[in-house]
Amino acid sequence: MSGQTPDATPASARHGTQSIKGRLQALVRGVVGPPAALLGRIGMRPDHLTVVGLLWSVAAGLAFFEGAFRWGALLTALGGVCDILDGEMARRLGGGSRFGAFLDSTLDRLAEAVVLVGLAGFYIGHLVELTLDPRLAAEEIGRGLDPAVWERVGLVAVLALVGSFMVSYTRARAEGLGLACRVGWFERPERMVLIIAAAAFGVGPVMPAALIGLTVLSFATAAQRLAHVWKMTRIP
CB distance 236 to 5 below 8 Å: yes
108 has catalytic annotation: yes
Q: Which residue is catalytic, options 86, 108, 133, 146?
A: 108
CA distance 64 to 43: 32
CA distance 74 to 97: 30
CB distance 65 to 125 below 8 Å: yes
CB distance 204 to 75 below 8 Å: no
CA distance 147 to 223: 33
Rg, C-alpha atoms of the chain: 20
CB distance 167 to 186 below 8 Å: yes
Catalytic residues: 108
